[in-house]
């Protein structure tokens, strides 16, 4: 189905004289709906992947002696799953009783709004995730032994919770870096997964606007 539409789409610009306006509009309608359907499917799959991944993470971390870290990460991910399901539901509620261009513009507006909301969430998620990982590492048996060796090799009078002051300094600097670049990390992750489809959406809207203005 997608292949036939893509072929017809390309042929439509090669043989303009053979296509009527209604036929061109129909191609736009079908191409637009296919792209939206694909994005919505990808969003739904991503939500399921987070739920399944979080469940497996609890099992794995429990087996290696870090069950509380698994629970902590799941608690961090729970708001994301709830928000993602709500946002995806909102995308299905967009009015389809409009032109393909207006529908795509509405979908793109919804998409940008969702991305903004997720960016706010990830500003908190990444730092809290980092804190959880560091806490687990320091509290573990291996972490305790490493701190003891560091104190023996590089003694200091600044020690808190059996952790050298210079280690706290490194942890704090890295935390500030994570906080500063949380939004950038989210955008990078987003583009790696959906970047190609987002570009197609932008190009399709641009093409349809250009056609409308002619």
Q: Transcribe 48-98 into DSSP letters.
A: HHHHHHHHHHHHHHHHTT-HHHHHHHHHHHHHHHHHHHHHHHHHHTS--SS
CA distances in angstroms from 2 to 31, 56, 102, listed in the order given: 8, 35, 22
CB 8 within 8 A of CB 27: yes
The pLDDT value given to residue 11: 46
In this predicted structure, the answer to whether residue 104 has a pLDDT above a threshold of 80 is: yes
Could you tell me the pTM of the whole model? 0.76
What digits encode the pLDDT tens for the residues 20-67?
445 555 666 677 778 888 999 999 999 999 999 999 999 998 888 888
Question: Which regions of the chain does DSSP assign to beta strands (E)?
Answer: 159-160, 163-164
What digits encode the pLDDT tens for the residues 68-91?
999 999 999 999 999 999 998 988
The pLDDT value given to residue 208: 76
The pLDDT value given to residue 17: 43
* Backbone dihedral angles phi then psi of residue 156, each to the nearest 5 degrees: -150, 150
Per-residue DSSP letter, 17: G
- Return the closest-CA partner of residue 46 out of 79, 94, 85, 72: 85
What digits encode the pLDDT tens for the residues 199-212?
988 888 887 777 76
Neighbour-count burial of 48, counting CB atoms closer than 10 A to its CB (0-12 exposed, 13-18 middle, 19+ buried): exposed
The pLDDT value given to residue 27: 64
In this predicted structure, the answer to whether residue 13 has a pLDDT above a threshold of 70 is: no
């Amino acid at each position: 189905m997608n292949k036939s539409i893509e072929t017809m789409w390309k042929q439509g610009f090669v043989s303009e004289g053979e296509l009527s306006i209604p036929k061109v509009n129909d191609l736009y309608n079908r191409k637009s709906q296919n792209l939206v359907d694909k994005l919505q499917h990808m969003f739904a799959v991503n939500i399921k992947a987070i739920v399944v991944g979080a469940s497996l993470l609890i099992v794995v971390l429990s087996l290696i002696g870090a069950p509380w870290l698994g629970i902590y990460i799941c608690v961090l991910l729970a708001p994301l799953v709830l928000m993602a399901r709500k946002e995806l539901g909102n995308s299905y509620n967009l009015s389809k009783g409009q032109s393909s261009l207006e529908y795509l513009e509405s979908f793109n507006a919804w998409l940008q709004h969702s991305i903004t909301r997720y960016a706010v969430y990830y500003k908190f998620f990444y730092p809290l995730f980092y804190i959880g990982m560091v806490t687990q590492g320091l509290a573990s048996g291996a972490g305790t032994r490493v701190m003891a060796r560091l104190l023996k090799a590089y003694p200091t009078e600044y020690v808190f919770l059996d952790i050298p002051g210079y280690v706290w300094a490194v942890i704090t600097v890295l935390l500030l870096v994570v906080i500063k670049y949380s939004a950038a990390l989210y955008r990078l992750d987003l583009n790696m997964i959906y970047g190609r489809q987002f570009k197609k959406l932008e190009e399709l809207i641009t093409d349809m606007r250009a056609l409308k203005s002619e």
